[in-house]
């Protein structure tokens, strides 16, 4: 809970003299009312809600109420339930057996009544601090999208539109906004009247799957049965790391005062503080074949399909790769079991919201204003279970997000990088993230997405992955960044822009990232900065830093380059890179790299692109001879992305190492400062795997994108 919520001594008469810039085109504008005073004038609709707000404290350590909160200056989005909505909610509690009659007097204890009132109140309010509130014209346009900031219950509200219901908007899946009483602007935010109390269930993925099976709920009966049979139940019950939470509450994990350290976040509005996450939540995403698929494939009803049936289908249809070692017995929880290996390839160790499967930020041609999809965007992740690579992809031509799609792109030097075509065998699995039923399968710690074609790490998928450059944003390597809503959060609030994780000596917050005790780590969200980083964001560190990153797996045995991209400037340091498959015995890749040296340095062989494509190719070859490459044509900057990283001459990619790698081994990259100074920063944006089939292919040279 934001610290400023505790400062209620300042709820003063001066509030009423405040002025706000209100959109005069809104349906309702109440320049002289706060959220509370407006609802007090309409008690026939909101008297029950007002009483709830008077009874609910801002937090367990505050005596101030949410009634006082919504009376104060700020930017609040209030989803105010009507008296009828609250009465219906109480009637629902009678049905569940919690109370005997639909009345506040019917609760058996004050504690239970308090908890229910908190549910109503905390889920109904988003505190935009000094930043923003959300009228409907700022809601996500895509179905099932989320509002950027969480409510006071630390839950992000989804927005759903129903095609055959004109002007309909639902939040939290099934809570409708009143058509007439929405976008009520007041001096401290906006009110939306809702016809149903927002009260999402705190159900885990494991419990949701159990309910699906027990209730024979059509959709993912087979997928749920297979996941639980493979021993995932305990894993999918986990919601939060309470050890970390305790360390945070005790102040052992705390914010980082960069100013006191003597570090200014250059390019980041020179903000003096980076903020430790309040939570370390766990999350999961499952991409699943539907029950209709299994009914058609196996000729049986989903309730009658067993894990053994599915395993036999996987075996018969060769849904694995040549050389895989597996067993086919009934010990499905064994990681060596075929069914276990198959289903865990469907799972990611992070919860990904429907509009965050891929990120549209600053790819060439993309405009935040117009929100038009242009050239392909993609993510590469390591799956759960046996670590294997999976690709998420979307382009203008794909008409949605796909798993393991491999189209032919117009990616020549004079091309536009759009899809030319995609062979049927390479279209991949379409992810249903837009339909009305998606949010039926969202749990507190995860979500299930339907896919339209079976998913597996087959020989064809492995081969296709090995024949393309694999670019991965550094922040994508840490599942906690996505689950805890840090990565590319659409917020300019400093708490969301500057995220500080403790070094490993205190606590390992990010899976796959180890840091020594002299590392001061910052994730800079850089939302709306317009930078030409991949997806705009970057990781920084200062001090005598030493960070070790667990890299994603390569798709198959072969020779690969590992590349590191940097935007050089005088704030950067000099680092030594180490690489290998034993984190305790990593080998230096070369001599230390000076991150201040521009790509135009004469030692690199750089020359700007000309109209002569052959000459440009020769310059690229000359730079590669020095283990250097220009920036990427696919990464733009500025709204519309007309300027690119390749055209920004300072940008450079370093080829760190080139060697034979094995997909069954885990590889690590260590980056260590070699300076005496502890005031020069690490820069980390994205990395690349690139196989010899790509970088040394005379018939089809590697593209510039």
- Residue 285, helix vs strand vs coil: strand
pLDDT per residue as tens digits for the range 493-540 = 889 999 999 999 999 999 999 999 999 999 999 988 888 899 999 999
Check pLDDT > 90 for residue 436.
no
The pTM of the full predicted model, rounded to 2 decimals, is 0.92
Question: Residue 521 to residues 331, 389, 547: CA-CA distances in angstroms?
Answer: 42, 27, 9
CA gap 198, 80 in Å, rounded? 9
**pLDDT digits 0-9 by tens, 56-91:** 999 877 789 999 999 999 999 999 999 999 999 999
Instruction: Decide if 575 contacts 555 (C-beta within 8 A).
Output: no
Residue 664's pLDDT band (cuts 50, 70, 90): very high
Residues in contact with 490: Cβ distance below 8 Å, sequence separation at least 6, in sequence order:
148, 527
Q: What is the mean pLDDT of residues 27-36?
A: 79
Mean of per-residue pLDDT scores for the chain = 92
Higher pLDDT, 63 or 7: 63
Residue 24 scores a pLDDT above 50: no
**Domain annotation for the chain: domains and CATH numbers:** 3-194 (2.30.180.10), 202-239+281-466 (2.30.180.10), 469-695 (2.60.120)
The per-residue pLDDT for range 208-264, each reduced to its tens digit, is 999 999 999 999 999 999 999 999 999 999 999 999 999 999 999 999 998 888 887
Strand-pairing partners, residue 451, are 289, 431
Residue 572, strand partner residues? 681
Contact 521, 547 (CB under 8 A): yes
pLDDT > 70 fraction of the chain, expressed in percent and rounded: 94
pLDDT at 268 over 60: no
Q: What is the pLDDT of residues 285-298, one digit of tens each?
A: 999 999 999 999 99
* pLDDT value of residue 637: 82
Mean of pLDDT values over 637-654? 85
Decide if 545 contacts 518 (C-beta within 8 A): yes
323 or 548, greater pLDDT:
548
Residue 151 and residue 125 in contact, taking contact as beta carbons nearer than 8 Å: yes
Element (H, E) at 158: strand 158-160
Q: What is the pLDDT of residue 266?
A: 57
Q: Alpha-carbon distance 145 to 134, whole Å?
A: 14
Q: Which pLDDT value is given to residue 265?
A: 66
- Per the CB < 8 A criterion, the answer to whether 478 and 382 are in contact is no
Predicted pLDDT at 270? 67
pLDDT at 11 over 70: no
CA-wise closest residue to 469 among 625, 629, 606: 629
For residues 477 and 512, is the Cβ–Cβ distance under 8 A?
A: yes
Query: Whole-angstrom Cα distance, residue 533 to residue 514?
Result: 23
Residues 6 or more apart in contact with residue 666 via CB below 8 angstroms = 387, 550, 551, 553, 581
Closest CA to 487 of 344, 603, 379, 635: 379
**pLDDT tens-digit profile of 339-348?**
999 999 999 9
Q: How far apart are CA 600 and CA 436, in angstroms?
A: 51
For residues 32-40, average pLDDT? 95
What is the model's pLDDT at position 2?
A: 36
pLDDT of residue 10: 32
The sign of the dihedral angle between the CA atoms of 113, 114, 117, 122 is negative
The distance from CA 219 to its chain's CA centroid, rounded to whole angstroms, is 25
Question: How many Cα neighbours within 13 Å face the side chain of 105?
Answer: 0
| pLDDT for the residue 32 | 85
Q: Which residue has the higher pLDDT, 389 or 2?
A: 389
* Residue in 472, 456, 442, 453 with CA at minimum distance from that of residue 347: 456
Cα(369)–Cα(217) distance, integer angstroms: 41
Q: What is the DSSP string of 298-364?
A: HSS-GGG--HHHHHHHHHHTT-S-TT---B-SS-TTSTTBHHHHHHHTTEESS---GGGSS--SSBT
SS3 label, residue 112: helix
Residue among 585, 607, 578, 219 at smallest CA distance from 432: 219
Short-list 563, 579, 533, CA closest to 683: 533
Res 164: pLDDT: 82
pLDDT digits (tens, 9 = 90+) for 564-610: 999 999 889 999 999 999 999 999 999 999 999 988 888 889 999 99
Q: Which residue reads 């590889």 in tokens?
A: 667
């Amino acid at each position: 809970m934001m610290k400023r919520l505790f400062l209620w001594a300042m709820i003063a008469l001066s509030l009423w003299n405040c002025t706000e810039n209100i959109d005069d085109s809104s349906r309702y504008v109440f320049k002289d009312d706060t959220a509370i005073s407006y609802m007090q004038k309409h008690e026939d609709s909101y008297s029950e809600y007002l009483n709830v707000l008077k009874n609910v404290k801002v937090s367990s350590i505050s005596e101030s109420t949410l009634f006082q909160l919504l009376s104060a200056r700020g930017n609040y989005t209030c989803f105010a339930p009507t008296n009828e909505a609250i009465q219906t909610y109480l009637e629902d509690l009678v049905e569940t057996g919690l109370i005997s009659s639909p009345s506040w007097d019917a609760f058996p204890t004050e504690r239970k009544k308090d908890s229910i009132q908190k549910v109503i109140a905390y889920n109904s309010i988003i505190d935009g601090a000094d930043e923003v509130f959300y009228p409907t014209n700022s809601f996500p346009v895509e179905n099932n999208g989320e509002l950027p900031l969480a409510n006071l219950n630390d839950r992000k509200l989804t927005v759903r539109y129903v095609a055959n219901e004109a002007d309909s908007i639902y939040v939290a899946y099934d809570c409708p906004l009143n058509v007439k009483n929405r976008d009520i602007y007041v001096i401290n935010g906006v009110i939306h009247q809702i016809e149903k109390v927002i009260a999402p269930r705190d159900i885990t993925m494991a419990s949701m799957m159990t309910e699906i099976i027990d209730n024979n709920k059509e959709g993912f009966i087979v997928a749920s049965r297979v996941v639980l049979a493979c021993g995932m139940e305990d894993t999918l019950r986990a919601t939060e790391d309470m050890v970390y939470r305790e360390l945070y509450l005790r102040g052992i994990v705390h914010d980082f005062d960069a100013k006191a350290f003597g570090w200014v976040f250059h390019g980041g509005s020179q903000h003096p503080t980076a903020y430790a996450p309040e939570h370390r939540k766990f999350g999961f995403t499952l991409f699943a074949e539907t029950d209709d698929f299994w009914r058609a494939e196996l000729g049986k009803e989903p309730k009658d399909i067993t894990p053994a049936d599915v395993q036999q289908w996987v075996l018969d249809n060769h849904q694995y790769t040549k050389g895989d070692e597996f067993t086919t017995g009934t010990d499905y929880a064994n990681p060596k079991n075929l069914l276990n290996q198959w289903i865990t390839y469907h799972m990611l160790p992070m919860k990904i919201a429907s509009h965050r499967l891929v990120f549209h930020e600053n790819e060439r041609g993309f405009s935040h204003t117009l929100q038009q999809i242009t050239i392909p965007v993609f993510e590469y992740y390591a799956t759960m279970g046996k670590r294997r690579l999976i690709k998420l992809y979307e382009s203008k031509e794909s008409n949605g997000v796909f798993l393991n799609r491999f189209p032919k792109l117009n990616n020549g030097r004079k091309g536009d990088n759009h899809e030319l075509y995609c062979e049927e065998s390479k279209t991949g699995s379409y992810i249903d993230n837009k339909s009305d039923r998606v949010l039926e399968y969202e749990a507190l710690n995860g979500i299930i997405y339907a896919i339209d074609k079976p998913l597996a790490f087959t020989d064809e998928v492995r081969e296709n992955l090995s024949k393309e450059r694999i670019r991965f944003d550094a922040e994508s390597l840490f599942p906690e960044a996505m689950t805890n809503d840090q990565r590319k959060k659409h917020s300019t609030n400093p708490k969301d822009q500057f995220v500080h994780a403790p070094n490993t000596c205190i606590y390992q917050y990010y899976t796959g990232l180890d840091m020594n005790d002299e590392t001061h780590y910052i994730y800079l969200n850089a939302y709306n900065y317009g930078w030409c980083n991949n997806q705009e964001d970057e990781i920084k560190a200062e001090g005598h830093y030493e960070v070790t990153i667990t890299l994603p797996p390569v798709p198959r045995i072969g020779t690969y380059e590992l590349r590191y991209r940097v935007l050089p400037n005088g704030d950067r340091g000099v680092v030594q890179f180490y690489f290998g498959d034993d984190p305790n015995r990593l080998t230096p890749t070369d001599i230390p790299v000076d991150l201040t040296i521009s790509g135009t340095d004469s030692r690199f062989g750089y020359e700007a692109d000309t109209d002569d494509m052959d000459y440009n190719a020769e310059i690229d070859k000359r730079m590669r001879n020095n283990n250097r490459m220009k920036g990427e044509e696919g990464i733009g900057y500025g709204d519309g992305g007309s300027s690119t990283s390749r055209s920004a001459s300072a940008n450079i990619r370093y080829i760190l190492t080139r060697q034979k790698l094995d997909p069954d081994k885990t590889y690590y990259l260590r980056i260590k400062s070699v300076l005496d100074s502890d005031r020069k920063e690490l820069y980390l944006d994205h990395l690349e795997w690139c196989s010899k089939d790509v970088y040394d292919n005379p018939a089809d040279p590697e593209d510039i994108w």
